[in-house]
Amino acid sequence: MEKKSFKIVANSLISGGIAGLFVETILYPVDAIKTKMQYRSLCKNSVLFFSTRNYYRYLYSGFKYSAFGSFVSSSIFFGTFHLLSNCSPQMKFKSLKTMQISLISELLSSLFRAPFEVIKQNIQVRNKLFLGHFNTNYSLFRYCLNFNKITANLIRDIPFSIIQFSLWEKLNRTGDGVLGEKCNFKDLFSGVFGGISGAIAALITSPADNIRTYIFTKAKTRNSNVSILSAIKTIYGLNGIKSFYIGSFLRALWLTIGGIIYFGCYQLCNSALEKMYRSFETLPQ
């Protein structure tokens, strides 16, 4: 790998991790409210481990698991994305190349993040009582690394990532053509484009998000399991198509604001690292 390509990938690993952690820290309560809303609507026969009185008390429950998962998975995604972008041959259709690279990057990222997402969502709706069902970390992660749970996570995250990053790259290229390469507000516009693409991707993948939440949180014991087909039938039986869009507004809001912060923070971190490298290169030997 060339020195320049290595620098780009290294920057992406650091910037991606920081951006992922930053967004998760700021917007975690919105995600928690969305998950609780879906749980109360989709899992009507399940025991609610929180009351209306303490509904907002545990908005950061499960945050440490989500924070770690977000930091590492964002690093994996951006590192893989830029590694493949620099190593793969040029294609006539840039959007198709972006979609292919996004798919591979999100696959690796989502596989790592899935168990932490299962833990996070169950703590969000059951508080720390969820962890009491497991004697060891091994049994906990064995519960999380279930085929249906992993598949449900991939069904949501891969289409979301392909849509979001394809739109983001297209908007960035269009913006570069209109604003010019030397525009001082490229980082800001990149964040705005990230918010727009995140909102569109969130609305399109909302049904998959509800299916995922149902599968992640429905199981009453650590040995129970819910299939994707069973989840679809149950959710549709509640209120038809509308049931697949529970919490969609909150998710779109979260990913719009999150997209602006995420991509803006990513670009700012990248720019800061580039300046730091250049300052080191100008130092006398």
Phi, psi (degrees; rounded to nearest 5) at 40: -65, -30
Q: Is residue 217 part of a domain?
A: yes
Q: Are 169 and 105 spatial neighbours (Cβ–Cβ below 8 Å)?
A: no
Mean pLDDT of 115-124: 91
Mean pLDDT of 67-95: 85
Evaluate if residue 51 carries a pLDDT over 70: no
Q: What is the pLDDT of residues 129-184, one digit of tens each?
A: 778 778 888 888 888 888 899 999 999 999 998 898 889 888 888 877 776 666 66
Q: Is residue 250 part of a domain?
A: yes
| DSSP assignments along 180-214, one per residue | -TT-TTHHHHHHHHHHHHHHHHHHHTHHHHHHHHH
CATH code at 23?
1.50.40.10
Q: Is residue 156 part of a domain?
A: yes
Amino acid letter, residue 17 = G
In this predicted structure, what is the pLDDT of residue 91?
65
Q: Is residue 278 part of a domain?
A: no
Q: Tally the domains of the chain.
A: 1
Range of 4-18, 127-141, 220-234 with top mean pLDDT = 4-18
Q: Is residue 280 part of a domain?
A: no
Among 248, 200, 243, 218, smallest CA distance to 34 is for 248
Q: What is this structure's pTM?
A: 0.84
Q: Is residue 265 part of a domain?
A: yes
Q: Alpha helices, DSSP H only, in 43-93?
A: 63-87
**Range(s) of the domain holding residue 17:** 3-273
Q: Is residue 283 part of a domain?
A: no
Q: What is the pLDDT of residues 235-272, one digit of tens each?
A: 999 989 999 999 999 999 989 999 899 888 998 898 88
